[in-house]
Amino acid sequence: MPEVVKKIYDEYDGPYVGMTQGFMPLLMLKRPEDIQAVLAGDFQSFHSRGIIANPNDLLADNLVFISDYQRWKILRQKLSPVFTSAKLKNMCYILDKCSRDFVDFVEVNQNMQEKPFNALYTYTTSTIGAAVFGIDTQTKNTMESPFLEMAWKSLEPSMKQNIVILMSNVFPFLYKMLELKIFGDYEEFFVGAVKKVLAERRRETTKRHDFIDICLELQKQGMMQDNTGYELEPTDEILAAQAFFFFIAGIDTSANTMHYTLLELSNHPKILKKLHEEIDKVFEGVSDEMTYNDIEKLHYMDQVLNEAMRKYPPIGVIQRLCSKDTYLPSGVKISKDNIVLLPVFALHRDKNYFPNPDVFDPERFSPENQSQINNYVYLPFGEGNRICIGNRFARLQVKVGLARLLRRFTLVEQNITLTFEKSPFGLRSPNDRYEFKLRNV
């Protein structure tokens, strides 16, 4: 879909382009001013993603899919503290343990070297599982995550899931009448796992600094309430849905970001050499365990990741449903229940915003150059009020994993042209590969 949308974006001039999705009209927005209005300035009119979930679909009742504004807002407010600097600092030991297990896992598992995307997927699943549920002291290797099979099945593009999502958008009445569920196949397993862990941890007194700690604290505080008097009880089911949000929002996107970063590094040995030098310098001043402050020193890695997410954004298209009649800065009227499409992949490859857009150049994001990038044309995590709540965690997770991986391995130089598989929102090429080579450090 991101490629299809980009083709239309490139073919037509003007501030917007009319399209259809099934029988539904869409309006693709091209001007940064209109995109800003949708994501921030007129957020009240565009707070919904327009993805319908049935009331009985427990796992879809999470921050990604919720359309009810008050329900979304109160959960967003209560869960935002999970991602403060202080929380991430406390959580960093979990990610570092996972990253050490990860590089050991890659070194001894030849099959994972032959299919590197699978290894990255294992890492992101395991780190998110550990960040949500804590590290199981009975598990010797954190890469042995019980959630790996569920993650593969629930997030890999499939005909069944595409049909369900299409019906929720194109035939919402039929979708509700048939009581279809987007993630129904995983409900019993995941909700059951959360309930079990919550019950076990209520008997503990030790802080683990994971998501379950936050859940227990919310439940101790009782009914959640906003300044309008709206109330929501933090039940096990509601909190399980928010935990599931970590998986659906973070596993595939973070694995793809790492994957495309490594693919581009294997194509650009000079950039790889410079990144190795930065990583080695940071490791020289630390013990075996990397801290949050150590990871924050990897400034060039930030540039490399920013450029990877520009060229291959984790989500290639964003949609929003208009909840009331409104006008955009370009003057076009958007009627209630119409959908607007934000062409992230097309914007990131627009030569007017990013000269030589197909060239991988981390210097675009150097301190002196980054400030010159137009607002609302670089959207790897979205932007505005509904910007990805876990973007800071995702960056930390990816940086820790890449730092450990590139400390132990380098990449054999290659020249590869990528092709994407079919996907409704993201950019994926899981079969493209690169070769790891042990370093002498």
Q: Tell me, what amino acid is at 126?
A: S
Token duo for residue 204: 């503990």
Query: Cα separation of 267 and 415, whole Å?
Result: 5
CA-based nearest residue to 318, from 242, 377, 247: 377
Token duo for residue 350: 């627009």
How far apart, in Å, are the Cα atoms of 345 and each of 22, 125, 295, 349, 373?
21, 25, 28, 6, 16
Query: Cα separation of 319 and 326, whole Å?
Result: 16
Q: Are 224 and 233 in contact (CB under 8 A)?
A: yes
Q: Are 440 and 412 in contact (CB under 8 A)?
A: no
Q: Are 28 and 343 in contact (CB under 8 A)?
A: yes
Query: Cα separation of 169 and 158, whole Å?
Result: 17
Q: Quick one: CA dihedral 226, 228, 229, 233, positive or negative? A: negative
Query: Cα separation of 383 and 36, whole Å?
Result: 8
Q: Residue 375 has what DSSP assignment?
A: T
Full DSSP string of 112-150: HHHSHHHHHHHHHHHHHHHHHH---TT-S-TT--TTHHH
User: Is 215 a known ligand-binding residue?
Assistant: no
Q: How big is the CA angle at 161 (ends 176 and 124), to the nearest 5 degrees?
A: 125
Query: Cα separation of 385 and 404, whole Å?
Result: 33
Token duo for residue 89: 């600092």
How far apart, in Å, are the Cα atoms of 161 and each of 124, 135, 216, 258, 396?
22, 31, 32, 25, 30
Q: Residue 247 in 3-state DSSP? A: helix
| Three state DSSP letters for 193-228 | HHHHHHHHHCCCCCCCCCHHHHHHHHHHHCCEECCC
Binding-site residue numbers for heme are: 388
Binding site: residue ranges? Answer: 388
